[in-house]
Amino acid sequence: MSFKIITIDGPAGAGKTTVSKALSKKLGCVYVDTGALYRAVAYEIHSQKIDWEDDDRLERFLSTLDLNFVMKKDTLVLLSSGKDISGLIRTPQISMLASSVSANPKVRAALLDTQRNIAESQPAVFEGRDMGTVVFPDASCKFFLVADLKIRARRRYDELPAANQDVSDIENQIKTRDSQDSNRKSAPLKPAADAVTIDSSNLTVDQVVEEMIQIIEKA
Ligand code: DC
């Protein structure tokens, strides 16, 4: 099986991260969660109290941004100014802010090289919103992973360590984020023309990965 870049795009909660992890393990390559980059930007904007709607301030902030993926035990971990912030970027507040700031073309441009540089040095599975359409238009294989909204909300609810949120709140947040991510002008969430869409609503992770492997083998 020969491939360089596999892309998996899709809406929030469709199972992209779980599937990317399992697929990359089977393929013996790394997987890159590009949502973590947008979450890291949102986290820094929030903790440094940056007025990101002020263009000059945003530009100055972006020029100081220091995001790097480093390999830790077979996994790429994102560091912001050398600090592992993985445990701080998954809150509902950061999810919503990441969705809002990711609509800004300056933010997207600032993260482009970080994503493409990883692909220079190794084969990888990249997951996000615009992997197949913008960041890696020449990827070896492109997937668009979808699932029913209620099922996505339930999966997110089950992932929460303590059920401190109502499943219907999670459903509303996912709906808002999907709408923002799909309707923005810059690199909106949509399948690439040559992407294969897989509906994971009634499939196990293994079934999704198996379907992907079959497609990758034929490519
Ligand atoms: O995949 P995620 O839920 O961690 O992503 C958080 C937000 O980041 C998502 O709502 C939109 C944005 N994002 C993006 O615009 N482009 C990507 N390639 C990945 C994420």
Residue extents of the structural domains in the chain: 5-218
Q: Among 16, 67, 99, 106, which residue has the most ligand 1 atoms within 8 Å of its CB, making it the best to mutate? A: 99
Which tokens is 14 given? 């469709």
* Distance from Cα 33 to the centre of ligand 1, integer Å: 9
Position 162 scores a pLDDT of 66
* Distance from Cα 37 to the centre of ligand 1, integer Å: 8
* Ligand 1 cavity residues, CB under 6 Å: 12, 34-35, 38-39, 95, 98-99, 102, 128-130, 177, 181
The verdict on pTM exceeding 0.85 is yes
Q: List the pLDDT tens digit at each of the 219 positions of the chain.
A: 667 999 999 999 999 999 999 999 999 999 999 999 999 999 999 999 999 999 999 999 999 999 999 988 878 899 999 999 999 999 989 999 999 999 999 999 999 999 999 999 899 999 999 999 999 999 999 999 999 999 999 998 888 766 678 899 999 999 999 999 999 999 999 999 999 999 999 999 999 999 999 999 998
Cβ-based neighbour number of residue 127 at 10 Å: 29
Distance CA 44, CA 10 (A): 25
Give Cα 121 distance to the centre of its chain. 20
For the CA of 180, the nearest atom of ligand 1: 10
For the CA of 36, the nearest atom of ligand 1: 4
What does residue 151 show for φ and ψ, rounded to 5 degrees?
Answer: -70, -40
Determine which residue's CA is closest to atom 11 belonging to ligand 1: 99
Q: Is domain 5-218 given the CATH code 3.40.50.300 in the classification?
A: yes
Residue whose entry in the numeric block shows the structure tokens 């492997």: 213
* Distance from Cα 56 to the centre of ligand 1, integer Å: 23
3-state SS, one letter per residue, for the chain: CCCCEEEEECCCCCCHHHHHHHHHHHHCCEEEECHHHHHHHHHHHHHCCCCCCCHHHHHHHHHHCCEEEEEECCEEEEEECCEECHHHCCCHHHHHHHHHHCCCHHHHHHHHHHHHHHHHHCCEEEEECCHHHHHCCCCCEEEEEECCHHHHHHHHHHHCCCCCCCHHHHHHHHHHHHHHHHHCCCCCCCCCCCCEEEECCCCCHHHHHHHHHHHHHHC
* Distance from Cα 128 to the centre of ligand 1, integer Å: 6
